[in-house]
Structures are given as structure tokens and as C-alpha cells.
């Protein structure tokens, strides 16, 4: 079974079960974002949460095994096209240099890890229109000399 | 005066004054990220903070006027190359579809605005290595039918 | 059912029924442009118009459900090739900076939303050759400082 | 004198004169959009309006001559990056096929000319936020057989 | 039936009938180039020639209907690779600016339409080697001011 | 002297002399297209016409020598952007395969040379709007086996 | 039968017959390189060698007919990736300008034809390591004026 | 002194001395192709030929030193545009797979080195038109297992 | 059998046999890296190790034959996307010029062969986090003059 | 002072002093590779080694300050062109998937850091031709779930 078939199987089962990603993640005991990314084939789950997820959705073991495989992370377009995803790319373009300046000032020369990393999405209710709040949290990795 | 000359003038003055972006932003009364991005030529300041900033750094009026001009937001590489900025691009590639799924689940069909938007950077101290925390906060804009 | 299969099913049914997009949109109670874009898989319909559209064309519920799903908006070529679509891209290239200048002058620093947005197409009869009139109407979103 | 030097000269003079594009266009007797695009080097003016424009702004004849030269229309990025201009590109991507369908239905097989063409920008006041209205008007050109 | 299937059907029937494009075009009453381009899916035929063509080649009505559909004009490589087609691209690169200069001199500021357009190919016999003669004939479209 | 400086010198002198490309070519004794392309740096002239051209325009010998140098033929954009030049590229995209079919039918397997080649531009007067007529004439080069 | 299916059929038959390209070419009476390129679908064979080749390999007439069809010459990557082919591309990059200088010096302004052209590959035995010798032989085509 | 300035100095001196590349190479005692490529900045010369070359052309020591520096080999376009160089690229595209097949057959799995490599250009006189003969000679490097 | 089918067959058999690449390589008598790359279709094996590998995994002769075929080395993205592979690409970008400087200093003008080449991967245990050690070993190939 | 000017100053001083990178690094007390990369503007030095380096080469304080600035790491071509650097890119293409497999087997799902990373270059003497040995050593970063 390939990751792409796994994703299709999960989405179909999730629709039948009328479960949200949030409810599914709660059952599995991990964050919504991480569970969703694993189901979309961009991360791997450990054995236990993989099996729990399949149990909740009534999926067979092949799905659980495929969830544990290490994914090849690739995406469709070098510049994303869907408006929601493009806006995130635009933010990187507009604020990338700013982030570099401020991280440099606060931490020294280095980067924010995208591996030792988590990402969460909240809904902030607001009478002028609700707001999407995305928080990225990555370990600072200093450049070393040797 | 062009934005690029303005940026050079500000960075030179900031070095001489030995001021951090954070201290500068505090004087101007806006967030560190926003003030930095305006100084790097990616946003415009209103008249008052522009003049305040020039006063603090001892820069002449031409800089203040240029800070108020509406910038053309462009960046150097369609795929960023500096490791710090690339990691942010990678996050968009790896988690873009996940974010779309979860925003869809929480808000309905629509996007997070990159215009009615703010971005902040914190340092989270951690004995295993400090962490960079980036928070994006953008208005949810629903797609409309007509 | 995928969006692409949905589009094929709708176009086949529309041909059999010898209905124009305009007539279809009128039945559904939305604008021609919006209904067409939803049928081509670039927008989602709410439950009621989706079901109405399927009723009019004699399509089953799966189509109605797929019409309600949130689309991934992607397109085939980064620079469009069909002459009609390329001309629109050319207009953006030739007049983009002009539009930026005039929007800046009339509204201040900001953009025209492509989400809180509508687009209509009229035929202007003219003895020297009929004219295509395309009107875009998008909310002005000012850049904010924070 | 090159078009790019002409544009710089005009913008400088316009700033000194504290004239808007709208006021300038009114003096010249052409639409705001067209005059702006000619000043930005993307269209040529006839002799009379070119001279009128230079008279109003106190610019010498070289500018008037350069305004009359036929421009090479080129732009900086195959995919525009400034958020305002990108949104227009996105509209072409999302609605291009829709426009093709509807123009085909209303006019037959052909295109909207981008040459025998005009474009106007209005401000629609709205208590929920003002709206940008862009109207394109181009001659329909039918494909011919021979 | 899709345009690509239509093309395959026509080419198969044409081979069986041992007809040249020239003979086919003569029967249909249009130029060789135009008929060929329609059969290759890059132009649409009106009802009568479409039916005539199918009658001549013994093809069923579905082909005739598909010939009348408005095509999406797209091509495989942004820079063509086949040597014959590449040479034409090279001509545009080498002589494009020259053509712009001379059209400007002869007609004023504007373009040659690629829509109100015809293209013909002749064989010029020559003892030093026969020559290919390609003639393009397009309406001059002047840029307008408004 | 570089080709680009040569071009600037010629265009300046041509403006002062108020000569058209056509008149210039007539003096030189070659076609308008070829002379223009050599002046724009895309072809080389033999000694005699190079000197004649400089004599007519009152340019010094350095220009005549540079006109005789073999040019590197390069152009600015892989896909041309100016509307006039783009239309020619579009013609190659839309009719490339058609031309390949018809040349194959008329001549056998081979190409039209872009080197043993000439190109001319005529103005066809027409009450419905004048037409641009471009004629390409290139030697047929058959593929050989060995 | 498509060229790609033809290639597969020939390679299969060639493996069964345990024939080298060299032996095959000898039977057909043409050079190894040309026969191989025709079998890979990049050139067409005349009737006689096409039929001879099929007779030798025991292939049916459809293959012989497909070998005679005029190919569309296209390749997979604009920059080749396989190390052997990339090295050839690198040679063009490193020595292209040098070749242009020397051809200009020896022949005048013009090119080496890639159509009236042959290419051969020899093995030069050498105690320090055998060497690959590739010889290209193309007609010189001078640029003409007209 | 940069390689590009070195090239300009050599070409100027070579013009004054009215020497061909061939004559220059003969004086230096290396092949025409190699000397030309070193003068164009794509290879380095050893001390002795570098000084000989400068002596012949009356150039100072800085040129001789720069000729000995190890060059960064880069070129202007990923796909070459000048017709002479493009034809070589086309040959790689059309015959690349053929060369791979035949080298595999003659030598086993491996490549032709582009480093332990030489390239020569001859003029083959021919009553039907002279021919350019390019010979590449590179060491065969077998892939190894380990 | 194609290389891609061979890879799938090997990976399936390897999973069933619960063998690591390391264990497999040991049985075959070659390095882990080389055996893995051959199984992934990027290198060819000689007859003996190919047959040994198939024996160990219980695969039939077709796999052994396909392992011996000379591969076309191509990869999916010109800029790799998977984070592990991208980091290697980034290293080439950041340290490429440095490596060129140091190789030049230690060896003279030339390159490290990627053909007469081996690559090994070790795990270096470390209390602060284990480390990946990649060693490349390639023959130095000096540029020659001729 | 910009990094690029710093690099030019260092290389000039290093030439005058006739020092190798290796000797320079030894004086500074860091590895050759790291010192070279910092001098080429791809890494920053701490205060002490920066000042030591300037002292050794007789460079003023501005160089020492610029060496301490955090660099923007960018490179010239997305696919490197110089043969030495290209070979490294090719290694990533050919062995990237292999490295991913083996790192996965040895360490689990994760990457080799390119930040907590060192790279060294040795010369391995060999009677069949000396060999370049490049060793990369990067911390393994496991993907985490959250």
C-alpha cells in the first residue's frame, strides 16, 4: 500500500464515521496538526497511535503499517497555487528577511529547526471576523565553527 | 531616495547607535516585527512612527518620507536559499495541505489573510535548547458566492 | 467522486439538456460566473444550490456532495497558453503597476481581495464589433501596522 | 532619454506639484488608467497629450518625445510577487477557464482583445469596507477560418 | 469524445484513405493549413465543413461534433524541441525586435493579430534546393488611448 | 565597441537624420528587414554595405567595423513578453505541429532552415483594417541517413 | 503503433536475437549511430532499410511502417540528468563559445547544420584507459544577407 | 584582474596583431581549441604557455597570471540561444540516448570523461558545401562497485 | 522488466525476509550503499552479486538480469524536496565554492570524479545526539591541456 | 563593507602573503574548510578568530567586523554549472534516495542536520591517481510527533 492509497482510505473512512480531524486526534492522543499531516502522508506515526487510529476508523492493518513508514516529503508546485497555501508562501517572501534579522538579534547566527518542530492552528473568535492563529515552535540551531 | 537606500541608511545608523530592533520598535511604539519589516522596505509606516524612528536614529526627513511610501513587495528567489528562510518555505510545503484541511474544518471554505495579518517572534527558553516561536495571526476570509 | 469527474458529469448532462451556463445559473439563483466556476471545480456551492443544480440537470447526489467540497485551486500552466486566458495574463503584466498606483492613490496602501470578490462578464453590443466587458469587484484590504 | 528615466522624471515632478494621477489625467483629457500606464512606460501618448502633460508638470520636450515612443512592454517577474498584482494573477488562474466558457457561450469561439482594450478602476464606497472595482473592456475577436 | 481522440481517429482514417492534407482541404473547401490545424485540435470548424470532412473520411458524427467544439490551445513545451518547430521559435527570437521596429514604422504603435489571422505554406522549387515559404497575414491592431 | 553601443549610435543618428529603416535599407541596397536586424545586432553586414550605412548616417568607422562582427544571437526572455512579439510565439505554439505535418507532406522529413533564410514584412491595405503580411522563405533541409 | 512501442518491440527482439547495434546496422547497410537513433525513435528510415531491419529481427510490417514515419524529436529534460548525457551538455556549455570563435575564423559567419549531419562513435584503445571518440560532421551553413 | 577583463584584453590585442586563434595556438604550442577556451576564460594555462601567449600579443604579466588561475566554468543560458551553440545542444538532445546505447555496447556501463578530454575542429572541403568536423575524445570511465 | 518494477519486487521481498540493507549487502559481498543504490535502480550489479542477491531474497532470474542492466540515472526534482535530501543539496550550495578552493589548493585544477567514486554512511554515537557521517571518495581528475 | 568586498580583500591579501587556506586556518585555530567558507562569505567567525585572521593577513578592523556578521547564504545557480560543483550535485541526485534509505535503517525517521554540521576534505594518495575524500558529519535530527 502506498501513502497516497492510505490517505484515500483514511479520508473515506473519516467521512463515513463523520469524524473531524480534531476528534480523531483526540482519540489518538496527539495534536490535530500532527495527526492530519501523518494521514496526508507527510509524517509517520509510531506503532501505537497508528493502530489506535485504524481501530477508531475501522481500517485494517495495512493502513496502520503504511502510517508507520517513513514518508518522502514532496509537494506539487514549487510555488503553491491554492490561495490559502500561497498566502503562507507570500508571508515567507514578505517577512523572511525580517525573521532572519530578529532571530539573529535574539539568538545569534543560526536557524529555527523544521524537524524538531511543532505547528498548531487555533481559531480566535473576533466580532470583526474570526482570526486564524498559526504557531510554529522550532528548536534554535546555532551555526557552529569547527 | 529609494527603499533600498533607506534600508542601508537605517542599518548604518542603527549600528552606530548600537540599538537593537527591539529597542527601536519600543521607541516607535509598534511591534518589533512590523518595524523591522518597514525598515527592510516591505511595509510602510504612518507619518508619526516614521518621524519618531528618524528622530531616534538621527536620520533626516528624506528617510521618514521614504518609510511612508507604499512598497513594491518583491523578493530575490522564488525558492528561498538562506537556510533559515528555506526552512519556513519547507514548512509551507510539508504542512500546507494540513493547514488547509484544519482551517476548512474549523472555519469553512476560505483563507487566512496575509494583509489583515500580524506576525510575532518569541524566544522560548528551554534547557534542551532554546526554541523559536513564530505566531501568525490573520483574519479568516470566507469565499463568497454571488 | 473527484472534482474532475464531477465537472465531466455536469458538462455531459448540460449538453444533453442543451442548457447554457446562463440558464443553469438562473435556475440555481446565483451569477453565471460563480456557478460556472463551481462546476469547473474552482469554487464550492452551498447545499441548497448544489442540490438545485443536480435536480435541474438530473444528476445524482454524489455530484451535489462533490459540489459542496472545498476545492484545491490549481491550474495547469504558470503562464497560461490559451490565447483568451493569456490575454488576461498580459493585461496583468501591462497594467499591474498602473493598478497598484491608482489603488494606492484612491485607497491607501493595501490590496483588492481575490476572496471577498466577484467577477462578471457582459456582452456590449457595438456596430464596430461587440465587446467583452469583465468587471471585478473586490474588497479593499488595507495593510495594517501592529 | 529612456522610458525608465522618463518615468522617474514624471514621478518626481508629480510629487513636487502634489498632483494625483487623477488630476493629471483630467488636465491631459484622457482616462486616469491610460495616462498612468503611459507615464509608467507601458503605453505611448500622441503628440498633443504628451506635450500637455509636460506643460502641466513643467517638464521639458525630451520627456514629451519619450512619451510618444512606442514602448517595449516587459515586466519583471513571470509570476508577479507584489500581493496586489499577484491577486490579479490568481484571479486569472482561478477564473480563466470560467471566462473562456462564458465568452464562448455569449460570443462564439474567439478572444477578448488586450489591444483594442480599456481598463478602469473605481472606488465603491461600502459600510462593510470600500471595494475596488476594475472594469476591462475589450473587443471580441472571433477566430476565423480561411 | 476528446479532441485528442478526434485527432487520432482522423489520422487513422486519412492513412486508410491515402489522402493528403491538401486533398482533404480541397474537398472541405478551406485552406490546407486551417483544416490541418482543426484536425490537430487547435481550431474549430463550422458545422458544414466538419460534416463534409467526416463524410469524405467515412467518420461518424461524434467526430464532426468534436471538430466544432472550441479548443483549449495548449502546447507541450514552452520552448519547442522538435528541430522544425524550434527553428520557427528561433526566428521569433532573432527577428522579433526587427519585426517590431518595422511594423512600428509602417503602421504605428500596435500589433499583428494572431486571431484575425491566416497562415499558408508553399513549396518554392529551386535548383539549389527547394524552399519552404510561410506567409502570415494578420490584421494590424493599433493600441488605443481612452 | 560592443554591438549594443553600435545599435544606440545608429538609432540616434537615424533619428537625427529623420530616416526610416526603409529608406536606409534602400541606400544600402539590401532588404529593410535584414538591414534592421543587422543594426539591432542580430546579423552581420559585409564590408561594403556596412560602410555605406555609416556614410549615409554620418557614423565613424568603428560602427562600420562592429556591423561586420559576427553577433552572438541572444534574446531577453525565453517566452517573449511584448504583445507584438508574443503573438508570433503564440503562432508557433498554435501552428507548429500543423506546419510540421504540411512540410512533411510536401517535402518529406526535414526542416525549414533558419539560416539560409529570409523574412519580409509588407503592409496590405484593407478597408476593414490594414493587414501585416510576414513572409518567411527558408531552404528545405532533408534529414539524411548515413 | 507509436514510436515508443516500436522501440520496445525492437529492443526485445534484439535481446532475443543477441544482436548488437553494430551487427544490426551492418545488416541494414547504414551506420551504427543512425540505425540506433532510428530504432530509438529519433530518426526515420527509408522503406528498404526499415524492411531489412524487420526481416533480420523477425518483426512484422507494422514496425517497418512505424520506422518510416517522421518522428517528433523531443527529450525528457531540458538539462539532461544521466551522467553520460550530462557530460555532453557540459561540453557544449564549456566549449560552445570556443567552437563559435573557431568556426567563425575558419568559415565565416554561420553554423554547423544539425540536419545535414552525421555522428559516429569509435573506441580508441589506450593502455592508460580506452577512450571514447565522437565525431560530428555537419554542413557549414553561412548566414546570408538579402 | 578578472577572467572577463583578461578575455577583453586578449581579444583587443589579437585584433591589433591581426592574428588568428590558429596562429596564436601554434606559437603557444597547444591546440587551437584549447588555447581559445583558455583565452575565453574556460580553462587555465600552465605558466610557460601563458607567458608565451602574452609575449606574442605584447600583453603584461597580469594577463599571464590570470590565464593561470583556475576558472569557474559557468555559462549564460541553461538552454543556449545562439544558433550555432543551440545546434550542438540539439545534437545532445537528439543523439544522447543513442550515444549512451552505443557506448554501453562498446565499453560497458560508464561515461566519457569531459575532463580527461580534448576537442578539435576541422574544415572538410566539399564541393557541395564545406563541412564542419568536430571530434571529441574523452577517456572512458567505468562505473565501479565497492 | 523495468528497473522500477525490479525495485518494487526487491523491496517487497526484503520486507518479507525482514532483512536490512546492511545484512543484504553483507551477503552479496559489497558495500551497503552500493547495493542499495543498485536495488533502487541507480547502479548496475555484475552477474555474480546480482544472482547472489536474488538467491538470498528468493527472487527469480528476471530480477537478476534487470539488476545487470545499465541504468538511466534520472531523479524527480531539479531541486530536491524531501528534507533529508534537500539538506545535502544545501550543503553543495553553501560549501561548493569552498570545496573548489580547497581541492584547487591541494590538487591543482580539476575535479573529484563522481564515477570512479564511492560513498559510505556511518553512525557515530554521541551522548549529545548521534551523528550521521557521510564519506565521499572520488578520484581526482586534473584538467589537461592538449 | 559588504561580504563580497570582504572576500575580495581577503583573497588579495592572501595572494600577497602567498599563504594557503590551510596555513591560514592553522593560524586561526579552526578547520581549513570552515575558515575558507567564512572568508567566502558563507559563515560568520567569532570575534577572536576574525581578528586573528585580519592580523595574520594585515587587514583592517572593518574586515574583522564583516567576518563576524551573519551571512545571507545564497548561491548563483539553482543547478550548479562548474564541473567540480556539479559533480557534487549529481551525487545528491544519484545517491539521495539511497542515503535516505540507509539513514532510515540506521537511525529511524529523520535527517542529517546541515547546521550542526562539519565538512572536511582530505587528499588520499594513490598510485592509480590521488583521491579526494570529503567527509560530512551532521547531527541526526529525528522527526518528532506532538
**For residue C96, which residues of chain D lie inside 8 Å, CB to CB?**
75, 80, 82, 84-85, 88
pLDDT at H7: 97
**For residue D73, which residues of chain F lie inside 8 Å, CB to CB?**
81-83
pLDDT at D53: 97
Question: Which DSSP category does F133 fall into?
Answer: E
Closest Cα in chain H, distance from residue E97 (Å): 15
Interface size F-G, in CB pairs within 8 Å, comes to 64
Asked if J73 and B79 come within 8 Å (Cβ–Cβ), the reply is: no
pLDDT at F77: 84
Q: Do chains D and B touch (3 or more CB pairs under 8 A)?
A: yes
Asked if F73 and H81 come within 8 Å (Cβ–Cβ), the reply is: yes
Rounded mean pLDDT, G46-51: 96
Asked if A135 and B134 come within 8 Å (Cβ–Cβ), the reply is: yes
pLDDT at C10: 97
Low-confidence ranges of chain I (pLDDT < 70): none
Closest Cα in chain F, distance from residue D84 (Å): 20
**For residue J75, which residues of chain B lie inside 8 Å, CB to CB?**
81
pLDDT at B76: 87
Q: Each residue of E99-113: pLDDT tens digit? A: 999 999 999 999 999
Q: Each residue of H47-83: pLDDT tens digit? A: 999 999 999 999 999 999 999 999 999 998 899 999 9
Please give the grid coordinates belonging to residue A87.
498566502
Other Cβ atoms within 10 Å of A68 Cβ, number: 15
The residue among D92, D69, D70 whose CA lies nearest residue D80 is D92
- Picking from I79, I81, I90, the nearest residue to B83 by CB comes out as I90
- Picking from C42, C100, C124, the nearest residue to D98 by CB comes out as C42
Closest Cα in chain B, distance from residue I90 (Å): 8
The residue among E99, D116, B106 whose CA lies nearest residue F129 is D116
For every residue of J4-73, DSSP letters joined together read: HHHHHHHHHHHHHHT--HHHHHHHHTS-HHHHHHHHTTSS---HHHHHHHHHHHT--HHHHHHHHSPPP-
For G128, which residue in chain J has the nearest alpha carbon? Answer: J128
Identify the active-site residue in I22, I90, I101, I118.
I90
What is the tally of helices (H) and strands (E) in chain C? Answer: 6, 2
Interface size F-H, in CB pairs within 8 Å, comes to 12
Question: Chains with 3 or more CB pairs closer than 8 angstroms to F?
Answer: C, D, E, G, H
Give me the domains of chain B, ranges plus CATH numbers. 3-68 (1.10.260.40), 83-142 (3.30.1160.10)
Identify the active-site residue in E8, E22, E55, E90.
E90
Q: Each residue of B7-40: pLDDT tens digit? A: 999 999 999 999 999 999 999 999 999 999 999 9
Q: Which of residues 76-135 of I touch G (CB under 8 A)?
A: 78, 114-115
Q: Each residue of E18-65: pLDDT tens digit? A: 999 999 999 999 999 999 999 999 999 999 999 999 999 999 999 999
The answer to whether the CB of J75 falls within 8 A of the CB of I92 is: no
Rounded mean pLDDT, C21-37: 96
Q: Which of residues 11-50 of A touch D (CB under 8 A)?
A: none
Identify the active-site residue in I87, I101, I118, I131.
I87
Q: Each residue of G57-114: pLDDT tens digit? A: 999 999 999 999 999 999 988 999 999 999 999 999 999 999 999 999 999 999 999 9
Rounded mean pLDDT, D43-54: 96
Residue E77 reports pLDDT greater than 90: no
Asked if C90 and F90 come within 8 Å (Cβ–Cβ), the reply is: no
Going from the first residue of chain A to its last (146 residues), give the mean pLDDT of each consecutive group of 10, the final group possibly shorter: 96 95 96 96 96 97 96 93 97 96 95 96 96 97 94
Identify the active-site residue in F16, F22, F101, F113.
F113
Average pLDDT, chain G: 96
For F82, which residue in chain D has the nearest alpha carbon? Answer: D73
For J33, which residue in chain A has the nearest alpha carbon? Answer: A146
**For residue A46, which residues of chain J lie inside 8 Å, CB to CB?**
145
- D90 is an active site residue: yes
- D131 is an active site residue: no
**For residue J81, which residues of chain H lie inside 8 Å, CB to CB?**
73-75
Q: Do chains G and H touch (3 or more CB pairs under 8 A)?
A: yes
Question: Chains with 3 or more CB pairs closer than 8 angstroms to C?
Answer: A, B, D, E, F
In whole angstroms, give the CA distance from residue B20 to residue B52. 16
CA B126 to chain centre: 25
Q: Which helix (DSSP H) or strand (DSSP E) does residue E61 occupy? A: helix E61-68
Asked if A73 and I81 come within 8 Å (Cβ–Cβ), the reply is: yes
Identify the active-site residue in J5, J8, J55, J113.
J113
| Angle (CA) F80 F82 F84, round 5° | 100
Instruction: For chain B, say whether C146 makes contact (Cβ under 8 Å).
Output: yes
Identify the active-site residue in F20, F55, F87, F131.
F87
**ipTM value for the complex:** 0.95
Rounded mean pLDDT, H33-41: 97
For every residue of I50-115, DSSP letters joined together read: HHHHHHHHT--HHHHHHHHSPPP---S-SS--SHHHHHHHHHHHHHHHHHHHHHHHHH-SEEEEEE
pLDDT at E67: 97
Low-confidence ranges of chain B (pLDDT < 50): none
Rounded mean pLDDT, D107-119: 96
pLDDT at F31: 95
**For residue B75, which residues of chain D lie inside 8 Å, CB to CB?**
81
For every residue of H72-131, DSSP letters joined together read: ----S-SS--SHHHHHHHHHHHHHHHHHHHHHHHHH-SEEEEEEEEEEEEEEE--TT--E
Longest Cα–Cα distance of chain A, Å, equals: 56
Q: Do chains B and E touch (3 or more CB pairs under 8 A)?
A: no
Which backbone phi and psi does F125 adopt, to 5 degrees? -75, 145
Asked if F49 and G145 come within 8 Å (Cβ–Cβ), the reply is: yes
Q: What is the pTM of this model?
A: 0.94
Residue J77 reports pLDDT greater than 90: no
Instruction: For chain A, say whether J53 makes contact (Cβ under 8 Å).
Output: no
Closest Cα in chain I, distance from residue B126 (Å): 15
Asked if A83 and C75 come within 8 Å (Cβ–Cβ), the reply is: no
For G78, which residue in chain I has the nearest alpha carbon? Answer: I78
* Residue D76 pLDDT level (bands cut at 50, 70, 90): confident
Question: Chains with 3 or more CB pairs closer than 8 angstroms to I?
Answer: A, B, G, H, J
pLDDT at G67: 97
- Picking from H74, H114, H115, the nearest residue to J81 by CB comes out as H74
- G131 is an active site residue: no
The residue among H97, G70, G39, G67 whose CA lies nearest residue F143 is G70
Instruction: For chain F, say whether D72 makes contact (Cβ under 8 Å).
Output: yes
Residue H117 reports pLDDT greater than 90: yes
Axis-axis angle for helices J83-107, I83-107 (nearest 10): 130
The H-assigned helical ranges of A17-80 are: 21-28, 32-39, 47-57, 61-68
Rounded mean pLDDT, J47-55: 97
Closest Cα in chain J, distance from residue H114 (Å): 9
Asked if E82 and G72 come within 8 Å (Cβ–Cβ), the reply is: yes
- Picking from E76, E79, E83, the nearest residue to G115 by CB comes out as E83
Asked if I144 and H116 come within 8 Å (Cβ–Cβ), the reply is: yes
Burial class (CB in 10 A: 0-12, 13-18, 19+), C67: buried
What is the tally of helices (H) and strands (E) in chain E? Answer: 6, 2
Q: Each residue of D79-88: pLDDT tens digit? A: 999 999 999 9
> Rounded to the nearest 10 degrees, how much is the dihedral formed by the CA atoms of H57, H63, H68, H70?
-130
Closest Cα in chain A, distance from residue I81 (Å): 5
Amino acid at each position: 500500500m502506498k501513502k497516497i492509497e492510505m490517505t484515500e482510505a483514511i479520508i473515506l473512512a473519516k467521512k463515513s464515521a463523520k469524524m473531524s480531524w480534531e476528534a480523531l486526534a483526540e482519540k489518538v492522543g496527539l495534536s490535530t496538526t500532527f495527526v492530519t499531516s501523518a494521514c496526508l502522508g507527510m509524517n509517520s506515526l509510531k506503532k501505537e497511535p497508528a493502530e489506535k487510529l485504524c481501530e477508531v476508523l475501522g481500517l485494517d492493518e495495512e493502513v496502520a503499517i503504511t502510517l508507520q513508514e517513513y514518508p518522502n516529503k514532496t509537494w506539487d508546485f514549487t510555488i503553491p497555487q491554492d490561495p490559502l497555501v500561497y498566502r503562507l508562501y507570500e508571508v515567507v517572501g514578505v517577512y523572511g528577511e525580517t525573521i532572519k534579522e530578529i532571530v539573529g538579534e535574539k539568538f545569534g547566527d543560526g536557524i529555527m529547526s523544521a524537524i524538531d518542530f511543532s505547528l498548531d492552528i487555533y481559531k480566535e473568535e473576533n466580532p470583526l471576523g474570526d482570526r486564524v492563529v498559526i504557531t510554529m515552535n522550532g528548536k534554535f540551531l546555532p551555526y557552529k565553527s569547527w
